[in-house]
A and B are shown apart, each in its own frame.
Chain A
């Protein structure tokens, strides 16, 4: 279905990534947000708080991130499309409810504008060190989807994608911005509402008597209902059977947890979002994401100017990791260079997927600014040596 024009600020804007992310959420149909202030993400909800009363929806500033991250789930079960926004320390507090959303298959979006960590770290400066936390931060086994924009325009576009994927797969989707992309202002084009595709909620057509809240459909995703419609359903964070009732049996645990993990795999397999360039003749592939992908692109220009055959593989979908694409690329290039604003996170996925078929060279950075392109260039040169 098309986006509701009420939430779509059609036009050409000069806008920062945080604000563009908010506009993406509004265009995607989010009419509920709960947040707790934290730099450098607050601008997203500040804009939502300013915009939503004239569109028709609710913003509530909660007492902490635990509250914000579960208030949105209450809202979803009430029938809303909802999201919350945070940065490192708040993301840590939200982990429990990322697990709840995964377990209860609650479609919702978590925006993390990453700053330098650990702990309070560098509140106003960029980092990309929450990538593994996004995937594994809550306890237990489950699947999630995470997307990494590298410009304000993508903050808009991918936030819509994030909402759509969350509805399709009934999973929490993480928008993994970084401070630099969040606070950078560039041109953002917001199209007409009718050219924005919005995925509707997978509401069941079954009667309350026939409906089973966690009965998987063909794609392993169950159909949804909302409170107040007479289904008298039960949702629990406990291991549950298809009726939604607690069931502590090993068999039920196995079926449920495998399904929660399996159902999101298509989002990373055939449907992973990524961008490639100059890979046809490449000896070296630079794998990067977020703001680092732009700096890496600069390094690639410098490398090509020196006659080095280097190309790019930009991760847009970080999770599920596009394992197959990297595996195939590993058979074609000599080496991967993986710059990221952390001391090595996604590089482990590249290494795992390359499975020894190509050298993998991390270019680490503790965060606080972006890489110097020369440092990435040095790694590219080392890779072809």
Chain B
């Protein structure tokens, strides 16, 4: 893990933005012995059905609680892209729900990864797990968290009855991301 990584995840309310952020934070803080701080946007930007969460991962105790310039930006809606893409750190990673977001204009040197998370979730029979598909994809393309830790965090973050489905969603997203990374390599 890098000394300090700022992550922002944003989308519509109902897409499971906050849970996705909580899984990543939990993986780092509980299962990887690192530090993680998650904050949600309760401010005016949270209105109008949009939702946004911030996670900071670090090898040291986290002091400043907010994300200023994300190393990783995950967007699940066009509005989220429009609002937050300009904040992406030069050379940062953008992960987009590719069927919902059209990408135009990004800081130089950004790496962009698209994933049809909603469609992949639908293939599992439940659209609601798109957030966990994204988490899997995030795990594969960023390499920021240990995949085993992320899987454990998924299991710990959902109700027992939903565990198997969510783990399948995680694996599906992870495999999709791993293929892209392999293709790029």
Chain A residues engaging chain B, CB cutoff 8 angstroms: 12-14, 39-40, 124-125, 179-180, 183-187, 291, 294-295, 297-298, 301, 369-370, 373
Report B30 CB to chain A, min CB distance, Å.
6
CA distance A369 to B64 in the complex (A): 11
Q: 30 A-B residue contacts at CB 8 Å? A: A13-B30, A14-B25, A14-B26, A14-B29, A124-B42, A124-B43, A125-B42, A180-B39, A183-B40, A184-B38, A184-B39, A185-B25, A185-B37, A185-B38, A185-B39, A186-B25, A186-B37, A187-B29, A187-B36, A291-B65, A294-B62, A294-B63, A294-B65, A295-B63, A295-B64, A295-B65, A297-B63, A301-B63, A373-B63, A373-B64
Q: What residue of chain A has the Cβ atom nearest to residue B55's Cβ?
A: A185
Which residues of A lie under 8 Å from residue B22 when comparing CB positions? 14, 185
Scan B67-103; emit 1 where CB is below 8 A from any A CB, else 0.
Answer: 0000000000000000000000000000000000000
Instruction: Say yes or no: A370-B66 contact (C-beta < 8 A), given A187-B29, A187-B30.
Output: yes
* Pair A183/B36 contact, Cβ less than 8 Å: no
Cβ contact within 8 Å between B42 and A183: yes
Contact B64 A370 (CB under 8 A): yes
Residues of B within 8 A of A187 (CB): 29-30, 35-36
Do A298 and B64 contact each other (CB < 8 Å), given the known contacts A14-B26, A14-B29, A186-B29? Answer: yes
Please indicate the chain B residues that have their CB under 8 angstroms from the CB of A297 in the complex.
63
Which positions 15-46 of chain B face chain A at CB distance < 8 Å?
22, 25-26, 29-30, 35-40, 42-43, 46
Question: What is the distance, in angstroms, from B55's C-beta to the closest C-beta of chain A?
Answer: 9
Judge whether B63 and A186 touch: CB under 8 Å: no
User: Taking beta carbons and an 8 Å cutoff, which residues of B are in contact with A?
Assistant: 22, 25-26, 29-30, 35-40, 42-43, 46, 62-66
What residues on A are CB-neighbors of B38 within 8 Å?
14, 184-186
| A297 to B64 CA separation, bound complex (whole angstroms) | 9
Q: Which residues of B contact A183 (CB under 8 A)?
A: 39-40, 42
A185 surroundings in chain B (CB, below 8 A): 22, 25, 37-39
Q: In whole Å, how far is B7's beta carbon from the nearest beta carbon of chain A? A: 13
With contacts A185-B25, A186-B37 taken as known, whether A179 is within 8 angstroms of B65 at the C-beta atoms is: no
Complex Cα–Cα for A291 and B22 (A): 20
Q: A185-B39, A294-B65, A370-B65 are in contact. List 9 more A-B contacts (CB 8 A).
A: A14-B22, A14-B29, A40-B42, A180-B65, A183-B40, A184-B39, A295-B64, A298-B63, A370-B66
User: B46: shortest Cβ distance to chain A, in Å?
Assistant: 8
Q: How far is the CA of A369 from the CA of B26 in the complex (A)?
A: 24
Bound-state Cα–Cα, A183 to B53, Å:
11
- Check if A184 sits within 8 Å of B37, measured CB to CB: yes
Of all chain A residues, which has the CB nearest B23? A14
Min CB gap A180→B, angstroms: 6
Residue of A nearest to B38 (CB): A185
Chain A residues closer than 8 Å to B39, beta-carbon distance = 180, 183-185
Query: How many angstroms from the CA of A294 to the CA of B35 in the assembled complex?
Result: 14
Is A184 touching B30 in the complex (CB atoms < 8 A)? no
Which chain B residues lie closer than 8 Å to A124 at the CB level? 42-43, 46
Q: How far is the CB of B120 from chain A (nearest CB, A)?
A: 26
Q: What residues of chain A lie closer than 8 Å to B37, measured between beta carbons?
A: 184-186
B42 touches A39 (CB 8 A): yes
- Chain B positions within 8 Å of A373 at CB level: 63-64
A14 touches B30 (CB 8 A): yes
A153 to B163, alpha carbons, bound, how many Å? 27
Task: Specify the chain B residue showing the minimal Cβ separation from A186.
Answer: B37
Chain A residues closer than 8 Å to B46, beta-carbon distance: 124
Contact B64 A294 (CB under 8 A): yes
Contacts of A294 in B (CB 8 A): 62-65
Question: Which partner residue on chain A sits nearest B46 by CB separation?
Answer: A124
Contact B43 A184 (CB under 8 A): no
Which of B35, B36, B37, B64 has most chain A Cβ within 10 Å? B64
Q: For B27, give the chain A residue with the smallest CB separation.
A: A14
Chain A residues near B64 (CB, 8 Å)?
A: 294-295, 298, 370, 373
CB closest chain-B residue, reference A298: B63
Find the B residue at minimum CB distance from A299: B63
**Which residue of A is nearest B33, CB measured?**
A187
Distance in Å: Cβ of B22 to nearest Cβ of chain A? 6
Q: Which residues of B contact A295 (CB under 8 A)?
A: 63-65
